Every structure is written in C-alpha cells, then in structure tokens.
C-alpha cells in the first residue's frame, strides 16, 4: 500500500525526491490524481486565537509544534537530508497566517530521523534562526497517554481535494487500537505508529497537516504531544483512520538530537 503522506500539494513530489537524493519515490502528489491529494483538518472548527500557541506552519506546506523556543518538531517526510538549511520559513503566533501579529523565522538546520526511508521513523527537527517568545509543547516519554481522545490542529485542507486554510482548524479524534488499524493498514508499524479516527470517517487530518502534533491533556491537565501527523488513505474516509508517528517511541532520540543542535 502506498503511504499517502499528508504533505501539501505539489511540494510533496519535490520534497520526497530531495529527501531521497532525487530517487524516484512514490509520493502522494506524484502517485495520485489531484482529488486524492488533500490537505487540512477535515471535520474541524476554527481554533481560537492563542488556543494552541505552540502550533507552527512551515513554508513547504507542513505543520509542526514548538519543541523548544528555537526548535520545531515535525515529520521526516516534510524535510530533506540532515544538515544546514535556510530555505524554510516557520510562521507562528497567530491562528491567522495573514495576521500582522504573526511571527516568521527562517530555519538554520534540519535534523531528520536516522534511518528514515519513507516507512516509520517519521520525525524531524528544524532549528530556527532565533528563539521565539511562545509556549512549547512537551512530548510524551511513555505510552501512558497513547489512548483516549486526541486533539489535532493544522492549516491543511478541510476536505479531501481541498485547498490550504488561512485559519488554524482543530478537531478531536479517538484512539484506534493497533489490531483494528492493521485491518485497514497491513503495513502499519505498531512499535512506531499510532492511529486515531472514527470508523465512519468524517474527521481527520489531511495533506497540509503533515508534521503537526496530535495531543491531549496529561495528568496535570497540560497539553502533551503523543503523535505527529504522518500518513493515511485519503482524508476522513470510513475505516481509514489517520496514522501518526508514536512520539513516545522516539522521545529519547528527539531529546538527544535537540540537545545537539
């Protein structure tokens, strides 16, 4: 099964080729007609200003979250090789991408998960040129929060085949067990991925939401990130939940990589 990664539009093919050194790799933009290449939170509502201040929009058409005030956690399939990179612009600080109060900062370095080859290990870090004065989103370090109902948010499409959104959308999706998810996705990697969505569909992340966080409240009622938007079959289709990188699996690697940047 082709992994329909939730990267936005035409940028997907170019970034996928760049990520694999120009090799011909099937990507959502290259392998599917436009109707199958969707971006955004489907079935969502507009987020309130300041509701999720850690959310980041990346210029290649992905999302992310502030891991530190100078590092963004996103998906590996959104970026190229590990190394210096000043081509990415991160926009944050407002739900409105056109707001005069938005903050934009260029990247200086990209760290892509070691061993990433398009299947699993879908996480990456982007170092910004300067820190920002915004709250960060802590990540889960155990599987304790890998259940229940999650929140997803992004500027991706609000329907399959739709267009990028100006305003941040949010939605809630329930946990789907590995056993159930593998009925839809036989190539799921349970040790590295977590699924969420409704059996009837209707609510999901979509292309353009790639790299964004899936999060919930922890025991102290603070937001904690448990997933990274990774892939799925279309957007909000019945019996095809969204697939997310299981953050707790890679928490120690993420922390070590961030400390080295």
The pLDDT tens digits for 12-71 are 433 333 333 333 222 232 222 223 333 347 888 999 999 999 999 999 999 999 999 999
Fold assignment, 138-248: Thrombin, subunit H (2.40.10)
pLDDT score for 248: 98
Q: What is the mean pLDDT of the chain?
A: 86
- What three-state secondary structure class fits 105? strand
Name the active-site residue from 77, 107, 204, 209: 77
Question: What is the residue extent of each domain of the chain?
Answer: 11-28+53-136+251-260, 138-248
* pLDDT of 5 above 70: yes
* pLDDT of 164 above 90: no
How does residue 115 score in pLDDT terms, banded at 50, 70 and 90? very high
pLDDT score for 153: 94
Is 147 catalytic? The answer is: no
pLDDT score for 64: 98
pLDDT score for 94: 97
Name the active-site residue from 122, 184, 209, 248: 122
Is 77 catalytic? The answer is: yes
Q: Are strands 138-139 and 223-231 parallel, antiparallel or unpaired?
A: parallel
Is the overall model pTM greater than 0.85, yes or no?
A: yes
**How far apart, in whole angstroms, are the C-alpha atoms of residue 136 and residue 224?**
10
pLDDT above 90 covers what percent of the chain? 73
Could you tell me if 89 and 241 are in contact, meaning their C-beta atoms sit under 8 angstroms apart? no
- The CATH number corresponding to 11-28+53-136+251-260 among 2.40.10.10, 3.40.50.10240, 1.10.10.10, 2.40.110.10 equals 2.40.10.10
- What three-state secondary structure class fits 31? helix
Type and span of the H or E element at 169? strand 169-176
Name the active-site residue from 184, 210, 230, 248: 210
Please calculate the CA angle 53-68-154 and round it to the nearest 5 degrees.
40
Tokens matching residue 99:
């707001």
**How far apart, in whole angstroms, are the C-alpha atoms of residue 249 and residue 22?**
29
Please state the rounded mean pLDDT for residues 92-114: 97
Is 36 catalytic? The answer is: no
Topology match between the domains 11-28+53-136+251-260 and 138-248: yes
**Least-confidence region, from 9-13, 78-82, 128-132:** 9-13
């Amino acid at each position: 099964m082709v992994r329909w990664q939730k990267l936005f539009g035409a940028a997907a093919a170019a970034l996928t080729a760049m990520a694999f050194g120009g090799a011909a790799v099937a990507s959502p933009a290259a392998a599917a007609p436009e109707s199958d290449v969707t971006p955004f939170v489907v079935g969502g509502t507009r987020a309130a200003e300041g509701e999720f201040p850690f959310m980041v929009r990346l210029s290649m058409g992905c999302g992310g979250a502030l891991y530190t005030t100078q590092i963004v956690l996103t998906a590996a399939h959104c970026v190229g090789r590990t190394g210096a990179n000043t081509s990415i612009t991160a926009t944050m600080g407002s739900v409105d991408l056109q707001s005069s109060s938005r903050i934009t900062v260029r990247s200086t370095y990209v760290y892509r998960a070691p061993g990433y080859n398009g299947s699993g290990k879908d996480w990456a870090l982007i170092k910004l040129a300067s820190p920002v004065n915004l709250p960060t989103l802590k990540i889960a370090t155990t599987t304790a929060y890998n259940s229940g109902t999650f929140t997803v948010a992004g500027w991706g499409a609000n329907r399959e085949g739709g267009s990028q959104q100006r305003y941040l959308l949010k939605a809630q999706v329930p946990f789907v067990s590995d056993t159930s998810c593998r009925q839809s996705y036989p190539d799921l990697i349970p040790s590295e991925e977590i699924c969420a969505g409704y059996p009837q569909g209707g609510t999901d992340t979509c292309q353009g939401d790639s790299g964004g966080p899936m999060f919930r409240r922890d025991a102290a009622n603070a937001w904690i990130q448990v997933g990274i938007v990774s892939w799925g079959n279309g957007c909000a289709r019945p019996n095809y939940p969204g697939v997310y990188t299981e953050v707790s699996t890679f928490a120690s690697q993420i922390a070590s990589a961030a400390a080295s940047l």
